Amino acid sequence: MTLNAKKTRAQKKNDSESVALPQELIDAIVSEVDDKGSLEACSLSSSSLRGPSQRILIHSLTLHGHGDFKVRTFLTEAPHIASYITDLKLKLWGYTDLVELETLCWVLGKLTRVARCTITGVFLNARWGNVNPTLSTALLDFIFRQDFQSLHVALLKDIPPPVFRCLIKSAGTLSFYNVDLQSHSGARDEVGDDSYTRAPNRSLLLDAGCAGVAQHLRSPGVITHTSTILCLSVMLEQSQSLALIKTASETLHYLRLDCTVLNSPEASRILPFLPRLRTLEVALAVSRANAVFHPNGNVQWFIDVVCNILTTYHKAQGAPLPELILSYIYARFVRPAERPRARIAGGFGNNYGV
């Protein structure tokens, strides 16, 4: 055998060894690529790069009725793509068009690996009762089949309690904004949720317009899921917030108090002792004119509440609270980049996922 022939064989061997990388290593390498153009190039280069590239490029999907038939066509031609969708945004409205309704239900039936789900009403006063019964049934079936890491619900009123219990049992991290529950009986109950359960809730965020939600979270059928919360964010203006804090007082590691619209500070002066608390965050309104924080002008309230928490914690634990965060929230029309954030003794607990 000639020297050139030996070199050719050695070169082919080296080339084959360089290509035959473990798929897990290829997946890890591709996951570090954050440029869309590079990912698109990878998806066209080889079969080993196509899958991990497509999982990143096609991980998110928004469904809103108009144009969902294109998603159906896409999933029909490439059914494996459905397993790549891990982030779903669903906008609920009447869906009077039967073709759009059937298309949306079909797409929901194909999704099996959604980890993060956002459900919003299209209008400010969107109501569960206005959602087509076919869609609400398909939506609940979709929720039953998923293993959510987080669920976010916004702008949806009159949710039947059985449906709401299904929502709060579906994910460890929950957030609600302008969500209200049905206050009377007689509406349809699409789900019997007694046997449906997930891991207990770990992170919960209640934004504006969720007073009814806070109250229901303390009801007998739900309290087992909320009494073990590690991370909680509430608006103190809502009357049920203090009671919810007390429910989770034995397990809370992180507590965020939104005081931006607080009108009755006297009702919220006394907070329960939180033995496991590690981080306290207080969100304060900021004057646009002079950039000075003020919980509706009541600076003394802020001093009293924070000092009470810090003093009580220090006496009980014999050590200071590890972390205190002040979040300054500007008035409307101020660009997000202009919103300052004061931090004391460390960083905010992203470990808890809020």
> What is the extent of the structural domain holding 129?
51-199
Judgement on whether residues 195 and 66 belong to the same structural domain of the protein: yes
The model carries a pTM of 0.78
Residue 165 lies in a domain: yes
Judgement on whether residues 141 and 209 belong to the same structural domain of the protein: no
Residue 158 lies in a domain: yes
Judgement on whether residues 210 and 311 belong to the same structural domain of the protein: yes
Number of domains in the chain: 2
Judgement on whether residues 222 and 245 belong to the same structural domain of the protein: yes
Residue 71 lies in a domain: yes
Digits of tens for pLDDT over the chain (354 positions)? 454 554 455 555 544 444 577 888 877 777 777 777 777 777 777 777 877 777 777 888 999 877 788 889 989 998 989 999 999 999 887 666 788 889 999 999 999 999 999 999 887 678 898 888 899 999 999 999 999 999 999 999 999 999 999 999 899 999 999 999 987 654 444 555 455 566 667 899 998 888 889 888 888 878 887 888 999 999 877 678 888 898 899 999 999 988 777 655 554 556 788 889 999 998 877 755 444 445 455 566 667 777 878 888 888 888 888 999 988 776 544 333 333 433 333 333 333 333
Judgement on whether residues 227 and 320 belong to the same structural domain of the protein: yes
N-to-C CA span, the chain: 67
Judgement on whether residues 179 and 218 belong to the same structural domain of the protein: no
Judgement on whether residues 58 and 193 belong to the same structural domain of the protein: yes
Residue 228 lies in a domain: yes
- For the chain, give the secondary structure using H, E and C: CCHHHHHHHHHHHHHHHHHCCCHHHHHHHHHCCCCHHHHHHHHHHCHHHHHHHHHHHCCEEEECCCCHHHHHHHHHHCHHHHHHCCEEEEEECCCCCHHHHHHHHHHHHHCCCCCEEEEEECCCCCEHHHCCHHHHHHHHHHHHHCCCCEEEEEEEEEECHHHHHHHHCCCCEEEEEEEEECCCCCCCCCCCCCCCCCCCCCEEEECCCCHHHHHHCCCCCCHHHHCCCCEEEEECCCCCHHHHHHHCCCCCCEEEEECCCCCCHHHHCCCCCCCCCCEEEEEEEECCCCCCECCCCCHHHHHHHHHHHHHHHHHHHCCCCCEEEEEEECCCCCCHHHCCEEEECCCCCHHHCC
Last residue of a domain, one of 199, 215, 247: 199
What sign does the CA torsion over 330, 333, 337, 338 have? negative
Last residue of a domain, one of 140, 174, 199: 199
Judgement on whether residues 195 and 61 belong to the same structural domain of the protein: yes
Residue 293 lies in a domain: yes
Q: Partners of 256 in the beta sheet?
A: 233, 281
Residue 9 lies in a domain: no
Judgement on whether residues 241 and 340 belong to the same structural domain of the protein: yes
Last residue of a domain, one of 152, 180, 199: 199
Residue 179 lies in a domain: yes
Judgement on whether residues 186 and 112 belong to the same structural domain of the protein: yes
Judgement on whether residues 228 and 318 belong to the same structural domain of the protein: yes
Judgement on whether residues 160 and 207 belong to the same structural domain of the protein: no
Residue 15 lies in a domain: no
